[in-house]
Structure 1
């Protein structure tokens, strides 16, 4: 090792609050993040952070290579490598890391790619740390020989499916491509997309892949981060053992900053096959990550666009009523950055009107600047966001690696916070003048087919490469062919998987419970790892309490609850929340209205006072109601253009039947939302918002005594009402399978939803059925559906199956997006896998399932969010506090025969609904070959000429 050092970061946060909102005064709080950093002789950077709050360890390997290190004509390589490195290595074998992840109870090996880095990460029980270090070293030094032509061909298909799913088959999916192609000059590393182009991916050769790996995947370009409950001395020995003999690569030159300037403003438009509403995006050249001006720009974008007082919200949403929201943000990377403003306007809105309102908002800001109270409010929110980012060991590890790679030192975390807190109002105005005012920009207008007149005036047609659906266009391959190669030499036998360490002592968090006089039930877990409190107040009812002919009332009511109170305007209420660095949100689901919150522990009481206000003193603001209705209508229209939303809505209808309330979309239809009045909301509130049907779940740095004290006024003054949750008829499973098709002309993928109404979460078979499903489609890369459709055939980017019951019987569902020209092949293969699942289930399947289900308990309650989920399960389904431990006993006792019996009972392919959302012209008729009769078309597209390419 070259350098060994131990650093202690001392963070001092200074938060100011408005005196009239809270008794909290300026507070200096120390927060320590200890880490140790060292470098191996081969250049590998290693960062350790010890956190013993849970018996888990997060391991992350980050390579300083992203799409910016590629060359034109060979784009998408960095992202392709993110995929390839999971497939095999010399000593783990095919699917080795994914198979090991399942056995050891890991969170699932995962990765991500950006313009500038690629990372690989997983959280595992602490007894598996040596196994993870061994596996990560094998990926870095003992991988490239295993990549063959068939493996590369298959993974190209997977990546192309990912692009189809996220870009080609998505409303506005090509927007970033158009922006980057025009913002950055030809040859600039950010002028192409991280995912690359379909053509470049197809043209990649095996030699290209090997050259890329040998250049960038070398120890001196990689950072290994280990965070969690482990012994650092032992971990150092393991890191040295497994990584030391991997050879250093050529020196990696530091990539120079390459900011861009636009010599002119460019306006472009595109008629989007999936868009149902016009969208305007304006992009200005910005700054690179950690540039001194990035901090003031962050405040500027926040102030201009977020919240009731934001100038852009005032003009676009409230005054001119052109859209329901605005998004203004920075997209900063290592060598350059951009500032982006995006508005999805209401149906039929001319985007010139949107731009006019934007200009008026900017003029308002120029005249008034940013008030100090708003500056303080934004900083308070940034502090809370910082703590949220550190609430898991993986989050801490990510953050330390980020600072190491892009700021040169993990200790920059301290400098980063100082710069956030140092921003002044003058800084905010200065960066506005430097980067926004009178500056050239790229403006893209993405509009529905046939509505080019909505685009900005004087816009030119954007160049977009659209894939054509061609039958049999993809090459055939056999990824099962084993690679033949001479193994990379090592000083010891790396094929031997390291043993487990000492088994972690999994502790189920201690739950406290209280039943208040008002009827409200409170469940909590005290946890002081970070100075945060999170809570979730669940008021039973939701859509179940609505008139089936007027769906959408509970959704609008939930939205209205946070739009002011009797004594606070919507703007005043929002400012009160944000000045605390807190968040309060309300939303409706099929079975409840939920109010959730997140705050610094020191501001919890003040935050709960605001929750109390919205429950006891709602505002019923008529202007906000009108805005919310319009926003909801806009959301409904957007869903009509999104194949995944269409699939979810149509599958619910098939699962429950048209006359069942759960077949409805809980935000309503255009007709039902238009018919809803403020009186409908008030009636629902008066009858159904009651403590008698409320459970409060709360976790974090707060005691039971403090929580109960904070609820005293709410307990005394919230009127208890008798609310009856209606009994819902169980949906009936189909007696025979049928195929249904929803036509989305020219869809680049077919979205599939196969399944039937199966089980309630309270059913004795529900948890055993989830155990059954692990190897089918619930275990990620450990599942057969993923292994055969993604890894074996390259048909899809991802496929899952699962049971989704609550107190009401829910569906068993298989979900995926598959390549359009293999729709029948995909559906047939899914049917075959499910049909044979029980017949082929064996002892190895059960052993893998048991290993995951039992060992994964070590990380089951690590984050505040996971603890909230635990409390929800306990209160909603009347589970014992130690249900996780009891489920271990269920798993341990299960046999192969038990699984086979459950399969016979719950996986009958001849009694399911088969729904496909895709291009009917090319795919629908072929699906008759599934053997379930002619597919039933669920919709008619009246004017296909307007939609097809």
Structure 2
């Protein structure tokens, strides 16, 4: 493709994802040029480990992600926060990585973005490394999955408990509106529902977690047949598969993991709750409705509904609540979907001293405006274009593509779901947006929370009841003491070969992209680079 004379004279990056879905199961050519996909291969080891390869030779780097299908939804009442705890623990020592674990190795081999994340549904461990360090990363990730849990001793657990508890204190307990998600979750999802508690868990559960509790949780969920290893970037697939089989192959399969099934959430009445927030300076109103899980056909229209209500000068929430009534400086709606359920939320942060009943009245006016005018085709097209741009930008790195493949594999049941996902985004109509509003929002029961500054109960919505929140009592010297210098002693897991750190591969060579030049009739020089990764132009 060449730059035509009428395009903007700038650094030009044009990209088109391959129109071939290169899976083991399906290597057929796709005829529709609008069908985009990430070419990949899927392999399954005998122990059940799913392995996904995406080859991308554009840069001499490789992204490696190990994702366990275990988030807070796999926990039990009274034993919450374990999935998030392991996000921390797995960056520490393992039997063959030794002290410093992945963090130390990443710094030494030139890795970038070494991190982890925990959600309701999965826990991710990921980083990008130079291609000559791929075998090292495969070795290290295998060590985490099969040669790790023996290194978790009482002192190690005691230290990491405090790290996680301190994170909760900073991000939740001592943060304005920090308990809002907790109150919504407790009242939106019934007792026993996997989303009834928060990902970070409770301080009490973390404190009470025994070493055996932690080991049992790991042994149950961190197994090859409950994990996906994704490798994306510049690498040799045949060689990589040999390394994966070598380092992961003898890790034992775990129990069969059954798919979690839950009934759709139904609220029999609207719940109004208030909470006096120690750190909030102004009152905040939140309204939350139960909706649908990720990739449900209605999730796409709900996402557009949230965007339209919130973004732009014409957005009903902005137009009525912020500009006309001037009762809040922030108002937005959003759709949040996960594996088992979804929710649609509306949030308005009021001005200092503003009664939240007046904010609620303004919200109702904004929603009435939407019911009257709906969404125009121009606004629908604008939002779709923005969504697609953001989506493709997320695929512009090998790590981004690897993450997307993994998410589809676990949550959609097919790593090749991208083509259908984009079609579903593009297919949303004006009627769909109206329909999901009437199906899930209009006249439906919801959870309403009024978070008000300390001593300002009168600002909460009328007829609200006090939300039950377990707040930690601050007691000097209450924390356990531990000696971080203690070297853990443990029994080593047997292996059929010596699991020492492998050597580097051949030094990577950087391929500099060709830059072409053209001169417009006006004399302006144009520089361009052709790039075939994502369908975006800059």
Same fold, TM exceeding 0.5? yes
Partners of 2:505 and 2:27 in 1: CA distance = 28
Q: 1:312 & 1:201 partners in 2: Cα distance?
A: 40
Q: Aligned to 2:452, what secondary structure does the other structure show?
A: strand
The superposition leaves residues 857-902 of structure 1 with CA deviations (integer Å, 9 ceiling, x where unpaired) of xxxxxxxxxxxxxxxxxxxxxxxxxxxxxxxxxxxxxxxxxxxxxx
Partners of 2:427 and 2:336 in 1: CA distance: 21
The residue aligned with 1:176 is 181
Structure 1 position 469, deviation (Å): 2.5
Alpha-carbon distance in structure 1 between the residues aligned to 2:86 and 2:47: 22
**Measured at CA, do residues 9 and 35 of structure 1 come closer, stay the same or move farther in structure 2, by a change above 3 Å?**
farther
Alignment of 1:117-516 (within 5 A): 117-494=122-499, 496-506=500-510
Alignment of 1:730-769 (within 5 A): none
C-alpha distance 9-364 of structure 1, shift in aligned 2 (>3 A): farther
Of residues 58-67 and 94-103 in structure 1, the stretch that sits farther from structure 2 once superposed is: 94-103
Offset of residue 337 of structure 1: 1.2
Q: Which residue, 14, 21, 24 being the options, matches 1:5?
A: 24
Q: Matched residue of 2:328: which SS?
A: coil
Distance of 1:176 and 1:371 partners within structure 2: 33
Q: Deviations over 1:170-201 (max 9, x none)?
A: 11111001111111111111111100011100
Please give the per-residue CA displacement for 1:912-932, whole angstroms capped at 9, x wherever unaligned: xxxxxxxxxxxxxxxxxxxxx
2:51 equivalent among 21, 33, 46: 46
In the aligned structure 1, how far is the partner of 2:427 from the partner of 2:433? 11
Cα distance in 2 between the residues matched to 1:7 and 1:362 = 46
**What are the superposed Cα offsets for residues 81-133 of structure 1, whole Å, 9 maximum, x if unpaired?**
11111111111112121111011000142100000100100001111000000
Structure 2 vs 1, CA of residues 175 and 513 (structure 1 numbering), >3 Å: closer, same or farther?
A: farther
When Rg is computed on C-alpha atoms for both structures, the one with the higher figure is 1
- 1:10 is displaced (CA, Å) by 7.9
Gaps of 5+ in 1: 14-27, 515-520, 533-599, 602-699, 701-949
Question: In 2, distance between residues paired with 1:10 and 1:415?
Answer: 15
Say which SS state the counterpart of residue 34 (structure 1) adopts: coil
| C-alpha distance in structure 2 between counterparts of 1:401 and 1:113, whole Å | 14
Structure 1 residues 226, 6: closer, same or farther in 2, change over 3 A? farther
Contact 2:273–2:450 at 8 Å: present in 1 too? yes
Measured in 1, the distance between the counterparts of 2:303 and 2:452 equals 29
**Structure 1 Cα separation of the partners of residues 389 and 533 of structure 2:** 10
Query: 3-state SS of the aligned residue for 2:426?
Result: helix
Candidates 94, 101, 110, aligned match of 1:96: 101
The runs of 5 or more residues in structure 2 that have no matched partner are: 1-22, 519-523
The residue number in structure 2 matching 1:711 is none
2:65 aligned residue (56, 60, 65) = 60
Q: Displacement of 1:370 after TM fit? A: 1.7
Are 1:528 and 2:531 matched, yes or no? Answer: yes
Deviation at 1:503, TM superposition (A): 1.1
- Residues 474-527 of structure 1: per-residue CA shift (max 9 Å, x gap): 111123323333211111101x1101011112467789999xxxxxx9998846
Give the 3 Å change call, closer, same or farther, for CA 316–99 of structure 1 in structure 2: same
Residue-by-residue CA offset, 1:716-740 (whole Å, 9 max, x unaligned): xxxxxxxxxxxxxxxxxxxxxxxxx
Q: How does 1:63-74 map to 2 (within 5 A)?
A: 63-74=68-79
Summarize the alignment of residues 569-588 of structure 1 with structure 2, pairs less than 5 Å apart.
none
- Determine helix, strand or coil for the equivalent of 1:33: coil
Secondary structure of the 1:109 match is strand
Q: Is the Cα–Cα contact under 8 Å of residues 163 and 195 in structure 1 kept in the other structure?
A: yes
Secondary structure in 2 aligned to 1:296?
A: helix
Describe the shift of the 1:105–1:250 C-alpha distance in structure 2 as closer, same or farther (beyond 3 A). same
Look up the match of 2:81: 76
Mapped contact 1:88–1:143 kept (Cα < 8 A): yes
367-376 or 218-227, which deviates more: 367-376
User: For 1:522 and 1:366, how far apart are their aligned partners in 2?
Assistant: 51
Does the aligned pair in 2 maintain the 1:259–1:288 contact within 8 Å? no
Structure 1 residues 336, 30: CA separation in 2 closer, same or farther (over 3 Å shift)? closer
Partner Cα separation in structure 1 for residue 325 and residue 145 of structure 2: 56
How many residues are aligned here? 511
Q: Which moved more, 1:352-361 or 1:398-407?
A: 352-361
Q: Residues 370-391 of structure 1: CA distance to partner in whole angstroms, max 9, x if unpaired?
A: 2112111111111111111101
Shift, 1:271, TM fit: 1.6
Give 2:7's aligned residue: none
Cα offset, 1:239, TM superposition: 0.5
Q: Distance in 2 between matches of 1:507 and 1:235?
A: 21
Q: Secondary structure at the match of 2:330?
A: coil
For the 8 Å contact 1:105–1:125, the answer to whether it is kept is yes
CA contact (8 A) 2:82 2:214 kept: yes
- With normalisation by structure 1, the TM-score equals 0.52
Does the aligned pair in 2 maintain the 1:445–1:456 contact within 8 Å? yes
Distance, in Å, in 2 between the alignment partners of 1:271 and 1:10 is: 60
- What root-mean-square deviation, in Å, do the aligned CA atoms of Structure 1 and Structure 2 show? 2.2
Does structure 1 conserve the Cα–Cα contact (< 8 Å) formed by 2:54 and 2:231? yes
Verify the 8 A CA contact 1:278 1:344 in the aligned structure 2.
yes
Q: Classify 1:46/1:531 alpha carbon distance in 2 versus 1 (closer, same or farther; 3 Å).
A: closer
- Deviation string, structure 1 residues 149-181 (Cα, Å, up to 9, x no partner): 000000000001111111112111110011111
Match of 2:17 in 1: none
Partner deviation per Cα, 1:228-274 (whole Å, 9 max, x = no partner):
01010110100111111111011001101332111111111112111
Greater RCO structure (CA 8 Å; 6+ sep): 2
For residue 465 of structure 1, report the CA deviation from its aligned partner.
1.9
Tell me if the contact between 2:517 and 2:528 (Cα under 8 Å) persists in the aligned partners: no
1:295 and 1:201 mapped to 2: Cα distance? 37
TM-aligned CA deviation for residue 330 of structure 1: 1.4
